[in-house]
Structure 1
Amino acid sequence: MASVEDDIASRVFSPSRLSIGLSLPVLRPQSDIADFREQIEIARHADAAGFRALWVRDVPLNSADYPDPVGHLDPWVLLGALAAHTKQAALISGAIVLTLRHPLHIAKGAVSVSHLSGGRFILGLGSGDRPSEYAAFGQDAEQRRDLYREHWGTVAAALAPVARVIPDLAPPGAPEFFLLPRPAARVPMLAVGSGGQSVDWIARHAIGWMTYHREPDVQRARYAMWRAAVERSAASAFRAFGAAMRLELSEQANEPATPVALGYRTGRLALVDLLQAMREAGTHHVTFNLATQRPARDVLDELASEVLPLFHGV
């Protein structure tokens, strides 16, 4: 029988179906303060309700100039708590800023969360998009494409089945390093955003490509571009395509879908139609960024009873 580590990626990303996840934290509109004890309870509830993945962002710093003022916990701290308080859902970083963290620290965090969660961790990696943060960390934003590739290679080597540590410097007589605990199995690595790389590079190196929601015609074009890249660069392998979508779920089941920034306000009936269309267009996973005045548990319960079975039950 395949281990959890072996099949966690296929439980989230399958060529034959669409799965649904939840992004944390879940906040009411215009709120930038999260009670993270409450977030753990929301995560436990979503896990028990059948959401296939729980997504955690990496936001190193905040600034009054940023459009997103939400205070996020360090992702490794939150992922550790989620590993201890959930049982089924994949835990996905969406995304660790690969260019602003040392890749060996990232590998150590990934191995740690994978062990704590029983192999339920998928390492989503991004490059960050805020030049001022690069300066704060002593990095040159113009070098982010090269940094992303270099750091990806170091992380991938440390997480490989036959793992090896690639040191920044190896002076004469330096010992050979390794990670403990050793990776029990391959930790899947997912590209979140492009990281400044070509889609062909992503198709060669990542299990899939996760993007923001876009209007249907635009997203279909992006998926077609992605499929062409997979055919060129990884023709014998399945490579997933997913999207993060803002969702304002109306209490009125038959309310039609209205576009909002990065998603929709909609009732559940139109939501099902939207998700079915996304699956038919080639999307394998959608994670919801909930934005609603309704209590989070009410929204999760409605999705769990009326929406998830239509996609996870077949």
Structure 2
Amino acid sequence: MDKKTDSIGQMERGQQSALNVGGFHNHPGFRRMFAPDQLTIGLFLPLRFYTGNMDVLKGQADLVDIIDQQHFASVWVRDVPLFDPGFRDAGQVFDPFVYLAYLAARTKNVSLVTGSAIFTLRHPIDLAKAAASIDVLSGGRLVLGIASGDRPAEFPAYGLHVDHRDERFRDTVKFFRELIQHNSPTIQSSLGQMSGLDLLPKPATGGIPLVVTGSSRQSLDWIAEHSDGWLTYPEATANDSGPRMLGHKINAWREKIPNGMFKPHMTNEWIDLVEDVNYPRTPLRGGYILRTGRAGLIQLLEEWRAVGVNHAALGIQFSSRPPAEVIQELAEEVLPLFPTHTGTAPIATGW
């Protein structure tokens, strides 16, 4: 069997399996990314690391157009409300919801993902309004990665106590879902009370997937029951010991998911994809970045797929090569082995 035929077979199996994805079987963004026993590929933004000059972000949306046209499954944006020099990382700089709305107008099919929206720092009404608006404007392409926040300096700036973020995260998730899933809900929450009011618009297909990042200070049982998916760090990526550890974590989580429902697992890695195809998988910056050739990356993705990872979000902002070159190589040589699912097309919009 040649490589192309095998890829088509994987895509068809993934589309058939994706019929068992619970409440999101009609959600275009979810279905494009996830199916049991399959792995798809997305790219993290920014494509170049911000070091104080916004010029590195110029032309990025043009490359996102190419990412969409080349049939990557998703693009991811991070949520860093305030720049903390101690972290030296400004994220993708733009507000994630504003930028995803901009990208929604520039693209047609690619899933639009937050990795991750800080649910403790925003009120659930504002989160739900922004998220539902993007989901409708994009034809149902929004997938929300969510987190409790890991930058302590941001919390007092919002008038919040960092030690209370676990409870606030749970309350925000519950409030958010009641707003987007029900008409005129009656809500009694530590975050507010409402009755006789409604949130408009509602999501394009009735819901928005919420993917919990890391632990978000929650128990594994809570994540298994209340998440629509789980994003965790990949463990070590220079050899197969990390994927094996990751597989144990995934299995422990999936054993706790009620009724055996399929919920996807995601992981991510910052890569420096070099031209030498056989360059060995080499950790940089204490394992924060993986330098590798194409063969090593494919091997890693195969290891992840084998242990139950359903989506890999790759960051190329630290790459030694121009982003356009890396995107082209990934699209031509890697993506066909891990094809994007095409079971549910975005809803046609005329806004």
1:300 Cα deviation from its structure 2 partner: 0.3
Distance 2:256 2:298 in 1: 33
1:159 Cα deviation after fit: 2.0
Q: Which structure is richer in relative contact order (CA contacts within 8 A, separation 6 or more)?
A: 2
Is residue 229 of structure 2 the alignment partner of residue 205 of structure 1?
Answer: no
Higher alpha-carbon deviation: 178-187 or 286-295: 178-187
In the alignment, the residues of structure 2 paired with residue 74 and residue 126 of structure 1 have an alpha-carbon distance, to the nearest angstrom, of 16
Q: Is the 8 A contact 2:269 2:289 kept in 1?
A: yes
Distance 1:65 1:232 in 2: 37
Structure 2, unaligned runs of 5 or more: 1-18, 342-351
Shift in Å at residue 227 of structure 1?
Answer: 2.4
Distance 1:295 1:222, change over 3 A: closer
CA RMSD of aligned residues (A): 2.3
Matched, 1:115 2:142: no
Q: 1:284 aligns with which of 310, 334, 341?
A: 310
Distance in structure 2 (CA, Å) of the matches to 1:311 and 1:233: 26
2:256 to 204, 221, 232: 232
- Aligned runs of 1:1-314 on 2, under 5 Å? 5-27=26-48, 31-35=51-55, 36-69=57-90, 72-160=93-181, 164=185, 166=187, 168-170=191-193, 176-184=196-204, 185-215=206-236, 216-260=240-284, 261-290=287-316, 291-312=318-339
Change in 2 beyond 3 A, CA 1:236/1:310: same
CA separation of 1:255 and 1:229: change in aligned 2, threshold 3 A: closer
Determine helix, strand or coil for the equivalent of 2:27: helix
Partner SS for 2:187: coil
In the superposition, the TM-score normalised over structure 2's length comes to 0.82
Instruction: Report if aligned partners of 2:28, 2:140 keep a CA contact under 8 Å in 1.
Output: no
CA drift at 1:214: 1.5
The one-letter code of the counterpart of 1:273 is Q
Q: Compute the displacement of 1:223 (Å).
A: 3.4
- Cα distance change on mapping 1:158 and 1:82 into 2, 3 Å: same
When residues 219 and 255 of structure 1 are mapped into structure 2, their CA distance, relative to the original with a 3 A threshold, is closer
Question: Distance in 1 between the 2:176 and 2:208 partners?
Answer: 10
Identity %: 36
The CA deviation string for residues 166-215 of structure 1, in whole angstroms up to 9 with x for no partner, is 36444xxx751111122332111111222100121111111211122321
SS in 2 for 1:209: strand
Report SS of the residue matched to 2:59: helix
Shift of 1:256: 1.4
Distance 1:69 1:183, change over 3 A: closer
Q: Secondary structure at the match of 1:155?
A: helix
Deviation string 1:137-166 (CA, Å, 9 cap, x unpaired) is 110111010000000101111122657363
User: C-alpha displacement at 1:134, in angstroms?
Assistant: 0.6
Partner AA of 1:297 in structure 2: A
